[in-house]
Amino acid sequence: QAAWCELPSRVLLVLTSQRGVQMYESDGSTMVFWHALDVPELPAAHSVFARGIAAAGGRFICVGTSSGAVLVFDVPPKGSNVTLSEVLEQHRDPITDIAAEQGQAPDGAGDLVTADDSGTLCLWSTGEEFTLLGKIPGSGCTCSSVALWNGIVAAGYGNGQIRLWEAGSGRIRAQVSAHARWIYALDLAPLTGKLLSGAEDSFVHVWQLSRNPDTADIEIRHCHAECVTDTQVCGARFCDPAGDSF
């Protein structure tokens, strides 16, 4: 997996693989940091890998691993003195995706969410030390993709569903049977709250997330569907923060 991590002071290109985590300057010119994964002496039944990347808390980059641990790297404003500051160990299954708050989190809501192969979600508050605020148990279906916006957790699942959760309380607020097959990608436009979903069923959908001003309920509305004929969509991204194109 690859992602640009935007921190206030710098942008890093982060790559994850079966060997470890690499961080480069944003143009790929210089490798800033390399973290090797612990490979067991005996070949295990499961492969070792890193997956799930997010910049969080202004100075941290979080990376998930196949053991369920989330590595928290403290990134200096410049230079290569990146350090592993913390390891979050709340998941029992391989991490699938990590998302940081893209808008304004309400009071008491976490600003980081981690997801795993069993569908379990963990909500965190970032800072000098990361605090676990809540855990949403999985229902046995992989949560392949997560996004976090204005205290709303949007999660895409292997059964084609999108579920919306309250980041403060962990309560489910909406559930949509969005796709006929495995959802591979979610992306969120932070300026508008548009949500993009891409799946194995060859469809890309655009949704509008919002909060009802009277009741504060979370609402989701379908905006657009695009079919890429006979193609399993494995990734999808908006091209701009307003979500005008993807």
For residue 196, the Cα-to-chain-centroid distance in whole angstroms is 13
- What pLDDT score was predicted for residue 45? 60
Strands 60-65 and 70-74: antiparallel
- What pLDDT score was predicted for residue 188? 96
Fold (topology level) of 2-37+48-184: Methylamine Dehydrogenase; Chain H (2.130.10)
Which whole number is the average pLDDT over 82-91? 96
Q: Are 239 and 245 in contact (CB under 8 A)?
A: yes
Q: What angle do CA 12, 14, 16 make, to 5 degrees?
A: 175
Q: How far apart are CA 179 and CA 201, in angstroms?
A: 7
Domain coordinates in residue numbering, the chain: 2-37+48-184
Q: How far apart are CA 203 and CA 211, in angstroms?
A: 26
- What pLDDT score was predicted for residue 216? 81
Residue % of the chain over a pLDDT of 70:
98
Q: What is the pLDDT of residues 218-234, one digit of tens each?
A: 999 999 999 999 999 99
CA atoms within 13 A on the CB side of 79: 6
Which whole number is the average pLDDT over 77-88? 95
Collapse the DSSP code of 230 into the 3-class scheme (helix H, G, I; strand E, B; otherwise coil) and give the result: coil
Q: What is the pLDDT of residues 137-195, one digit of tens each?
A: 998 899 999 999 999 999 999 999 999 999 988 899 999 999 999 999 999 999 999 99
Q: How far apart are CA 111 and CA 150, in angstroms?
A: 9
Q: What angle do CA 135, 56, 62 make, to 5 degrees?
A: 75
Identify any residues that bridge with 197 across adjacent strands, giving them in sequence order: 186, 205
pTM of the model: 0.93
pLDDT band at 42 (very low <50, low <70, confident <90, very high): low
Which whole number is the average pLDDT over 72-91? 95
- What pLDDT score was predicted for residue 3? 94
Q: How high does pLDDT run on average in the chain?
A: 93
CB atoms within 10 A of CB 125: 16
